[in-house]
Amino acid sequence: MQAKQSGTLVSGLAVLLAFQAAGAMLQLALHLQVPGSVLGFFLLWAALATGWLPLAVVEEAADLLLRHLLLLFTPVVVGVLPYLPMIRDQAWLLAAAIIVGTCSTALLTGWLAQSLLNRLDARRTPHSEASGFVSSGDLQTADLQAPGTTSGQHSLGRKPDAQQHTAKPEPAESGDGA
């Protein structure tokens, strides 16, 4: 993986830490029960989805941390050691409870998600695909066409407002909507 033009490992880590800090401040300010890192996750997702932050800035650092996520969890697992005697008395019962709870959650979520996803895919037609996001898609199409239609004028007399139009970054999915 080559160092990218707009992002390095350190700048990526800085961005991740900054978003975590922003999430922590949000948690404190709003007295939320959700930890700062989870709020930071949603903030970073929003920043990437809106195009405010280019993916290349965080990509390398994020991929590094996620590739070694198991390593990061190891000390947490070791931290259970002091509590083993406390749990041992009812270990089998607790194991049964946790197995039932975990398996039922995984199976219910998995089955439900798969059947809903398959149903949505089966219903997929050109007509229904456009529904829901048709307005934003049309807007983007119009927006993209604007510089094209004015291209004649563009070559004759440079229109500053037309240039602003083209400079505005648009989400990549505009092609899907059209």
Residue found by looking up tokens 């993209």 in the block: 144
In the complex, what is the shortest distance from the CB of residue 23 to another protein, in angstroms, rounded to a whole number?
A: 7
- SS3 for 1? coil
Residue 28 near another protein by CB under 8 A: no
Asked if 178 contacts 133 with a C-beta cutoff of 8 angstroms, the reply is: no
Give min distance, CB of 147 to another protein, in A. 23
Q: Which of 35, 88, 138, 153 binds another protein (CB under 8 A)?
A: 35
Window 101 to 120, contacts with another protein (CB under 8 A): 101-114, 116-118, 120
Residue 157 interacting with another protein (CB under 8 A): no
Query: Among residues 10, 25, 28, 65, which is the contact residue for another protein, using CB under 8 A?
Result: 65
Q: Which of 10, 25, 28, 133 binds another protein (CB under 8 A)?
A: 133
Dig out the tokens for 72 from the structure: 């990061």
Least Å from the CB of residue 166 to another protein: 22
Stretches 1-9, 63-71, 143-151, 153-161: which one binds another protein (CB under 8 A)?
Answer: 63-71
**9, 62, 144, 146: which one binds another protein (CB under 8 A):** 62
Secondary structure of the chain in HEC code, one letter for each residue: CCCCCCCCHHHHHHHHHHHHHHHHHHHHHHCCCCCHHHHHHHHHHHHHHCCCCCHHHHHHHHHHHHHCHHHHHHHHHHCCHHHHHHHHCCHHHHHHHHHHHHHHHHHHHHHHHHHHHHHHHHCCCHHHHHCCCHHHHHHHHHHHHHHHHCHHHHHHCCCHHHHHHHHCCCCCCHHHHC
Interacting stretch for another protein, rule CB under 8 A, among 98-106, 138-146, 148-156, 160-168?
98-106
Judged by beta carbon, residue 25 or residue 72, the one nearer another protein is 72
If binding is defined by CB under 8 A, does position 135 make contact with another protein?
no
